[in-house]
Amino acid sequence: MPHQVSVFAENKPGKLNRVTEILGKNNINIRAITISDTGDYGIIKLLLDKPAEGNEYLQNAGIASTLVSIVAIIIDDTPGSLHKATSILSSKNVNVEDAYGFTIRGEDRAVFVFQVKDVHATEKILKDAGFTIISDNELYYL
């Protein structure tokens, strides 16, 4: 199952720079990133090509980070495609705690990432509905 690295960071200049410096120096590639502002602190969520290693480098540098299990699926890059997935999850009472997506270069497909409580059950629900679940290796090298 894929993982994202979540970084809890004080909302001040230089924090993102420090995270990207550590990852870059250790040859860890950022595949996707989101930043959420919660006032004095924020959460940086990273899809890395080597998430466990990236998380370890960040922690060793004194940065509060953790590996979080996620569900990632392929959807068509067309209107309504994401709605199909969210409708299925809603009908099965799956709460999406966090989510983000990105397109695949040169293709009419996109990747959508869900953070949910029960990753295995959510993967089964989406797979049974015909969605392609992306493994960790596939996700980090799209």
81 vs 75: CA distance, rounded Å: 6
What is the reported pTM? 0.88
Domains parsed from the chain with CATH numbers: 3-69 (3.30.2130.10), 71-140 (3.30.70.260)
Q: What is the pLDDT of residues 15-36, one digit of tens each?
A: 999 999 999 999 999 999 999 8
Residue 19: how many other CB atoms lie within 10 Å: 23
Express each pLDDT in 85-117 by its tens digit: 999 999 999 999 999 999 888 888 999 999 999
Position 105 scores a pLDDT of 81
User: Over 80: is that where the pLDDT of 41 sits?
Assistant: yes
